[in-house]
Structure 1
Amino acid sequence: MSRDRDRSRSRSADRDVLEICWKPVKEDPTNFDAWTHLLQCVEQMDETRPAREAYDEFLKKYPYCYGYWRKYAELERRHKHYERCIDVYERGVTAISLSIDVWLSYLAFLKEYSRDKDGKEHKIRHLYERAISAAGLEFRSDKLWEDYINWELKQKNLPMVTALYDRLLKAPTQLYSQHFERFQEFVNSNAPDKILSEEEYDQIYKFVESELKDKNVEIYVVEEVREEAQENGDETPKTNNDLPAEGKTEYRKKYADEALKLFRVEILEKRRKLHLYNEQEVSKRWPFEEGIKRPYFHVKPLERAQLKNWRAYLDFEIGVGIHERVIVLFERCLIACAMYEDMWLRYARYLEGRNDVDIARAVYKRATTVHLPKKPGPHLAFAAFEEKNGNLVIIVIDRHGDNCSRVIDKSPYLIHSSLIDDEKQLLCFVLSFGKFDEAKSLLTDFDRKNPGYIMIQLRRIGVERRQATHDARIRSTDDQEVAPDFAQVTATYEKHIRDPRTPTKMASFYALKFARFHAKVRGDKKLAEKIIKDALSRDKDNPQLYLQLIDLAFSATPFSEQAVVDAFDRGLHSQELPDYEKVRLSQRKLEFLEDLGTDIVALQEHFEYHTKLYKSVGGGSSG
């Protein structure tokens, strides 16, 4: 009974400690120190359930913390949950595919886990290949390459070792010179036919044979090898009559010294060219690599010099133009610069520029859902991306048909056209219609979680407006043009303006945008004027509203001098508008009367008014 009570007390104490550790994390999920303290707590408890909950939540938020993927996997391995361990490693190498440490830990576990299982060699090699494919171009990937090569050496798969070196010698890595030295040792320690593919061996064999033919030297020589008889121990019966056994003589074919030398020179010379070219590539990148002081993830800001170095490195690699290396460098950069939205946007736009739309979308998703969920910039960019890169529609029509002009009229959505049948004059059009619903969903979701960003609201309205215009153009025909249905745009503006929770100045801001929409898009300047006047009734000291009213009068058709003067006077006669703001309006009215006015008396009277107003505010405006 006492033991049970002790266990119960211990569990209760653990729960209390766990609750204390979780509290600051729940209060502020961005508190990185609180997270690490929580993880220390669950590590000490060494219980899978609380550890899984903590690791899962932490790594969902900070997937670039590679060390915690290893700790999580090790916890599952220690508790003999091997399938769960594999799952953690798989999640880890997906989240941070360039982490050499996570790959090597995963490989070490798989070797141990697969020791007595069928097909283990195939599984291990497959994982090595995945690792090399994902991280083999990482500048500091040397340990991974060496581990793979050493494993193949243990399997006595020498041609595979050569094939790996052929790939490695083309990869600009930190220890590139050391790899070539080891390859030379490997070549000089093994027979050519044991390390080369059949195809390459045949090629070099023909070359060596041709070189030696004029010298009358054979490629092979026969070597006599005599094996001495082993002495019998006490436990081994001796031969008849206790006579010593005679040694055996064997004849073996081996490479002639000159032939072997030619083989090895030819093998190495071919790779030396790769090595020398790679050396040049490494030297170009070395200054950038030396500038990387913090290649790992941290929530603390990077120094300006570090950011500048990353940007310059990306400029260089993009300029070189080898796509695979550009991708690896972007991924490396994002580990260190995960908190910088310009890096994410640059990566996505680079991919979009190559028409890698699906990969670009995945980058945007990582940025907006994992690393920068509270920053509006990436969400605005993602929404624009979805709106722009929508569903593709292919249309094939007669070049001289009635519908041809209708398709061409939809040029904002036309991304490609070509003549596919010269005889029948058939044209193929590829149009991209935006994913408006996806764009709106992204913005709505961000606004729900992070309210208060006016740019998000304006973008949502803009998407609604463009969708209405798009839908109208699609429904229009040559005989009938369909007007856009802006009901949703109008409703959204009115909601923001009338919402009692909207601050007065913010409501005026929306009113300005709403009035401009009616004046410029719908051509309804009367309604635009009404919206501004309604806003002025609530916000009488807002100079922007008066200026908008003046602009509406100024751009009205037909032009009315009196309407413009009345708009100016509305602001100048306001009791709420400060005098220094009135000076600005007065100056503009004076310029208007001078440039476009027809009444010299009105001009002279206003000049006198303006001079007095100007002097009354101290000879100039305060703003």
Structure 2
Amino acid sequence: MEETSGENGGAAEAPEASVGPEPVPFSMPQAAEDEEGELPADFERLWKAAQDNPQDFTCWTDLLQYCEQEGHITASRRALEAFLARYPLCYGYWKKFADLERRAGYKDKAEEVCVQGLKVIPLSVDLWIHYINLLLGTLDMNLYDSPTRIRSVFEDAVAASGLDFHSDRLWDLYIEWEKEQGNMRNAAAVLDRVLKVPTQLYNTHYDKFKEHLNSHEPKEVLTQEEYEELRTYCRQSQKAERAEQAQEEEEERPPGEEEPEELMQKIREQVLLRRDKVYQDNEGEVRKRWNFEDAIKRPYFHVKPLDRLQLRSWHSYLDWEIAQLNKDTKDPTSEVTAQPQEGSEDSGVAHDDHRVRILFERCLIACALYEEFWNRYTQYLEAQSVDEARAVYKRACEIHLTYRPNIHMQWATFEERHGDLTEARRVLEALEKTLPGLAVVRLRRAALERRDGQLDQSEALLQEAVAESKENPTLHAFYSIKLARLLLKVGRNPSRARGILQDALEISPDNDKLHLNLLELEVSGDPWASTEAVQECVTRALAAPLAPHTKILFSQRGLQFAEDYSNSIQRGNLVVIVHQKLLKELGGTKRGAENGDEDPEKLSTGDDGSAADVSEQVPPTMPHVPITTPPPPVMGADMSAQAGYGAYSSWYQQPQYGSYGYQNTWNYNQGYYPPS
């Protein structure tokens, strides 16, 4: 396992890059002839541990290490396939898988493993080098098409990961291979390209170009066009020098008796003059990036969390690269465009869109488990291509952040915003299957259907949630209130809403929110027809096992409603008597004082200073009782503004609802980290 220490917590020679634009779940076809019989003794135990705890990275590494020690190819394949499907960014295990197939004699399978790995992590310089070395060791280079295939793979490699700051080894391998093939001109062309790429060892490439140019004739390393151009220029320069000398020398040099070495040296000087400008520009780009690159201490993937300094370093680097792109794009004199200039000689140094994307992809290796970077990438891409942004959401949600609900819901919002309601439904349904019982997901699904005008579907989703949560009274009450609100405010059906709340009260008579929402439903209706219903609601609350201050609140609401809308003075006076009696019994006087109100006993004291017995005196027409509650809301108003009851935010912040995803939506595994 020593080879994997780099990407799994130890020092790494090169940074790991990112997943590709369209990840393909890995699946290796297995041939029947290489199937081994019985699996190793402890395989099933370790396999079960990994399957039962898929987020436990240690369980997987224990399984893989055991399979490697046993040398059982079938067990190793099974373990590696399952592991890489969950952790595809661990490039060291792709290399191990390819080596396993190669040692077993399955060269085609070894190549297929590398290809599959590079599809999901195309920025991995190490994996590209491993793949190329595999081909160099297995292909017959005497065959006509073998060099062509190797060169094609090299081109794919530098196109995918050649802009990585640590891609020097890949470029060097390409250059040396061309030299071994005797293609000095191709080697010089590759050197020309890397001179424009800001890499860590940028200066060594210029030194190698000089050495290559001085070791061979210019016509062997330069393109035919550049060589002819420079030879003509240098000859004209020589003729001008000789014309000056001709005034002093009487003899004329015979035709063809030029000094070829002197001419070649002049051509070399001109070549270096041209490259020196490119080198200086590239050196400036390296200097701009050096501090950012130096601040990145763990560019490879690991399940261990990054510290805040590392997260800030990535954000700062992205901020800078995007700012450079925006500055160059807005500059009318700039020749740099926002589109990648693949194939252009200047594209290596340009602050183009391609370079920004490369940096994002590199960032999403070390920070693959931080949804803030995925969100930032999708926001960057959305302005350019909805399909590309969707592909990033797909990678994040289906591979790396399977159990993080927030980014799944953001994906669904993204799809709905762009009109694909079918995909938005699919995303939310898949999330609910992955994390069953998460209330916020069910509410998102119901809200999606409501916005689409599918009120029946929205109602059905909430009804299903109500039916499934009867064993959990608190959650049952929560869903019942949501369903009642939908029926009342959107469906305009107060009768059904009332029935839902009353049914919920049969299960949870001590839930004050149910009582308050039912009261709100009644008081928001026709006041002349709601008097009896309001008093019935208040009576039910007073008989329920509620806290004393809650009962006082209900009594005050009933009293206020009676004063505002009651048609009978006798009924109003009776409500006053009941309320004053309740205050006396439940200590409402003290609570009223605590709320800043005057003592109701003081208010009931006569002008002569003598206190009257509240229970015996005839209640006055305008009772002197403290009104400690605000006026009732307007008809149809939501309870969210009333003393915290019924408010969405208060529900989400209640401790008892934390497990439903409102306060801490993710605590399934400590390997997944909160945003920075």
The answer, yes or no, to whether TM exceeds 0.5 is yes
Q: Secondary structure at the match of 1:15?
A: coil
Distance 2:236 2:127 in 1: 50
8 A Cα contact 1:137 1:172, kept in partner = yes
Render the CA deviation track for 1:203-248: whole Å, top value 9, x for unaligned: 4344334433421379xxxxxxxxxxxxxxxxxxxxxxxxxxxxxx
Alpha-carbon distance, 1:16 to partner: 1.1
8 A Cα contact 1:187 1:264, kept in partner = yes
Identify the range of structure 1 (337-346 vs 586-595) with the bigger mean alpha-carbon deviation.
Answer: 586-595
> Given the alignment of the two structures, is residue 216 of structure 1 paired with residue 242 of structure 2, yes or no?
yes
Match of 2:271 in 1: 267
1:92-171 alignment runs, 5 A limit: 92-115=117-140, 116-171=142-197
Q: Which of 432, 436, 456 is matched with 2:441 structurally?
A: 456
Give the aligned residue type for 2:310: Q
Q: Secondary structure at the match of 2:241?
A: coil
Identify the range of structure 1 (158-167 vs 56-65) with the bigger mean alpha-carbon deviation.
Answer: 158-167
TM-score where L is the length of structure 2: 0.69
Match of 1:300 in 2: 304
Distance 2:508 2:128 in 1: 62
**Cα distance 1:133–1:567, how it changes in 2: closer, same or farther (>3 A)?**
farther
Alpha-carbon distance, 1:610 to partner: 9.4
Alpha-carbon distance, 1:56 to partner: 0.8
8 A Cα contact 2:39 2:75, kept in partner = no
Match of 1:8 in 2: none
8 A Cα contact 2:40 2:70, kept in partner = no
Match of 1:87 in 2: 112
8 A Cα contact 1:587 1:610, kept in partner = no
Q: Secondary structure at the match of 2:242?
A: coil
Render the CA deviation track for 1:354-382: whole Å, top value 9, x for unaligned: 22x33222222222222122221222222
Q: Secondary structure at the match of 1:216?
A: helix
> Given the alignment of the two structures, is residue 381 of structure 1 paired with residue 407 of structure 2, yes or no?
no
Render the CA deviation track for 1:111-143: whole Å, top value 9, x for unaligned: 121134331111001101111111111111111
Give the aligned length: 519
Match of 2:61 in 1: 36
8 A Cα contact 2:528 2:565, kept in partner = no
8 A Cα contact 1:72 1:88, kept in partner = yes
Match of 2:461 in 1: 492
Distance 1:190 1:590 in 2: 103
**Cα distance 1:549–1:265, how it changes in 2: closer, same or farther (>3 A)?**
farther
Give the aligned residue type for 2:144: D
Distance 2:449 2:58 in 1: 42
> Given the alignment of the two structures, is residue 280 of structure 1 paired with residue 313 of structure 2, yes or no?
no
8 A Cα contact 1:565 1:589, kept in partner = yes
Q: Which of 327, 350, 353 is matched with 2:357 structurally?
A: 327
Give the aligned residue type for 1:329: L
Give the aligned residue type for 2:423: E
8 A Cα contact 1:561 1:597, kept in partner = no
Give the aligned residue type for 2:378: A
Match of 2:370 in 1: 340
Distance 2:501 2:299 in 1: 54
Give the aligned residue type for 1:307: L
Alpha-carbon distance, 1:308 to partner: 1.8
**Cα distance 1:170–1:614, how it changes in 2: closer, same or farther (>3 A)?**
farther
Render the CA deviation track for 1:138-169: whole Å, top value 9, x for unaligned: 11111111111111122232332233223222
Alpha-carbon distance, 1:597 to partner: 11
8 A Cα contact 1:379 1:446, kept in partner = yes
Distance 2:178 2:277 in 1: 24
1:540-559 alignment runs, 5 A limit: 540-553=509-522, 555-556=524-525
Give the aligned residue type for 2:284: Q
Alpha-carbon distance, 1:335 to partner: 1.3
Q: Which of 477, 480, 497 is matched with 1:528 structurally?
A: 497
Distance 2:568 2:208 in 1: 95
Q: Which of 393, 402, 406 is matched with 1:364 structurally?
A: 393
Give the aligned residue type for 2:103: R
Match of 2:96 in 1: 71
Instruction: List alignment gaps of at least 5 residues for structure 1.
Output: 1-10, 219-250, 390-433, 470-484
Match of 2:341 in 1: none
Which structure dedicates a bigger proportion of its chain to strand? 1
**Cα distance 1:79–1:572, how it changes in 2: closer, same or farther (>3 A)?**
closer
Render the CA deviation track for 1:76-110: whole Å, top value 9, x for unaligned: 11122010011000011112212111111110111
Match of 2:429 in 1: 444
Alpha-carbon distance, 1:35 to partner: 1.6
Alpha-carbon distance, 1:283 to partner: 2.0
Render the CA deviation track for 1:544-586: whole Å, top value 9, x for unaligned: 3344345445654789895897598457635322123345667
Match of 2:222 in 1: 196
8 A Cα contact 2:523 2:534, kept in partner = no
Q: Which of 155, 172, 176 is matched with 2:198 structurally?
A: 172
Identify the range of structure 1 (26-35 vs 591-600) with the bigger mean alpha-carbon deviation.
Answer: 591-600
8 A Cα contact 2:519 2:538, kept in partner = no
**Cα distance 1:500–1:383, how it changes in 2: closer, same or farther (>3 A)?**
closer
Identify the range of structure 1 (198-207 vs 592-601) with the bigger mean alpha-carbon deviation.
Answer: 592-601
Give the aligned residue type for 1:70: K
Distance 1:150 1:53 in 2: 38
Give the aligned residue type for 1:509: F
